[in-house]
Chains A and B, each alone.
Chain A
Amino acid sequence: MKKNFILFKGLFVEFLLWIHSFLILKKVIFEKFILGTRYLSFNWNELIFCAVAGLIVSLLLFFLTPNVSLGKALYFKELRSKKLTSSPFFYNGLFHFILTLITSIYISQVSLKEFFSSEGLQGAQRIFMALATPNFGIINETIFSAVETIYIAFLATILSIPFAFFLSFFSSKNLVKNAPFFRVTYSLLRLLMNLSRSIEPLIWAIIFSVWVGIGPFSGMLALWVHSIASLTKLYSEQIEAIDEGLVEAIAATGAHPIQIIWFGVVPQIVIPFMSFTIYRWDINVRMATIIGLVGGGGIGTLLMQYQGMAMWHEVGLLVIVIALIVWLMDFLSSKVRESIK
Chain B
Amino acid sequence: MLTVKNVSKTFENGVVALKNISFDIKKGEFFVVIGLSGSGKSSLLRCINRSIQPTSGTITFKGQDITKIQGDKLRRIRSQMGMIFQHFNLIPRYSVLKNVLVGSLHHTPILSSIFGNFSKEDIEKARYYLKIVGLLEIESQRADSLSGGQKQRVAIARALMQNPSLLLADEPVASLDPSTSHSVMKYLKKINEDLGITIICNLHFLSLVREYGQRVLALKNGEVVYQGMPTEIDQNWFKKIYGEDAKEVEIN
A residues adjacent to B (C-beta < 8 A) = 243, 245-246, 248-256, 258-259, 262-264, 267-268, 270
**Does B158 sit at the interface, judged by CB under 8 A?**
yes
Listed by A's residue number, 25 A-B pairs whose Cβ atoms lie within 8 Å are A246-B90, A246-B91, A248-B51, A248-B85, A248-B89, A250-B102, A251-B78, A252-B81, A252-B83, A253-B79, A253-B83, A253-B103, A253-B106, A253-B162, A254-B76, A254-B105, A255-B105, A255-B106, A258-B110, A259-B108, A263-B113, A264-B91, A267-B92, A267-B93, A270-B93
B101 nearest in chain A by CB position: A263
Q: Does B75 lie at the interface of the complex (its beta carbon under 8 Å from any beta carbon of A)?
A: yes
Q: How many of B's residues come within 8 Å of A, CB to CB?
A: 32
Residue of B75, B113, B114 near A254 (CB, 8 A) is B75
In the complex the two chains form, what is the Cα distance from A33 to B49 in whole Å? 77
Inter-chain CA distance A262–B101, complex, in Å, is 14
Complex Cα–Cα for A253 and B74 (A): 11
- Chain B residues 148-184 with CB under 8 Å of chain A are 155, 158-159, 162, 168
The 4 closest A-B pairs by CB, nearest first: A254-B79, A254-B106, A249-B89, A254-B78
Judging by beta carbons under 8 Å apart, are B81 and A256 in contact? no
- B22-81 residues with Cβ-Cβ distance < 8 A to A are 49, 51, 75-81
Which of A245, A268, A270 neighbours the largest number of chain B CB atoms within 10 Å of its CB? A245
The answer to the question of B94 belonging to the interface, with a C-beta cut-off of 8 Å to chain A, is yes
Q: Which of A248, A253, A270 contacts B102 (CB 8 A)?
A: A253
- The winner among A246, A264, A268 for most chain B CB atoms within 10 A is A246
The reply to whether B83 and A250 contact each other, CB–CB distance below 8 Å, is: no
Task: Tell me if B215 is interfacial: C-beta within 8 Å of chain A.
Answer: no
Residue of B nearest to A252 (CB): B83
B87 at the binding interface (Cβ < 8 Å): yes
- CB atoms of A259 and B92 under 8 A apart: no
Q: Cα distance A268–B106 when bound, in Å?
A: 21
Q: In the complex, given contacts A262-B114, A267-B93, what are 11 additional A-B residue pairs having Cβ atoms less than 8 angstroms apart?
A: A245-B87, A249-B85, A252-B51, A252-B168, A253-B83, A254-B76, A254-B80, A255-B75, A255-B105, A256-B75, A264-B91
Residue of B nearest to A254 (CB): B79
Pick from A248, A256, A270: contact of B110, CB below 8 A.
A256
Measured CB to CB, the nearest residue on chain B to A245 is B89
- Give the chain A neighbours of B102 by CB distance below 8 A: 250, 253, 255, 263
* Cα–Cα, bound, A125→B110 (Å): 69
Collect the chain A residues with CB atoms within 8 Å of residue B105's CB.
250, 253-256, 259, 263
For A246, list chain B residues within 8 Å (CB): 89-91
Query: In the complex where A259-B105, A263-B102 touch, is A253 in contact with B78 (Cβ < 8 A)?
Result: yes
Complex contacts, B162 vs chain A, CB 8 Å = 253-254
Q: Given the complex of chains A and B, what is the CA–CA distance between A253 and B79 in angstroms?
A: 5
Q: Which residues of B contact A245 (CB under 8 A)?
A: 85, 87, 89
| B-side contacts of A263, CB under 8 Å | 91, 102, 105, 113
Point out which of A255, A258, A264, A268 has the most chain B C-beta atoms below 10 A from its C-beta.
Answer: A255
Contacts of A249 in B (CB 8 A): 83, 85, 89-90, 155
Per-residue CB proximity of B223-252 to A under 8 Å, as 1/0? 000000000000000000000000000000
Q: Is the CB of A259 within 8 A of B113?
A: yes
Q: Given A245-B89, A263-B91, are A252 and B110 also a contact pair (CB < 8 Å)? A: no
> Which of A246, A254, A258 has the most CB atoms of chain B within a 10 A radius of its CB?
A254
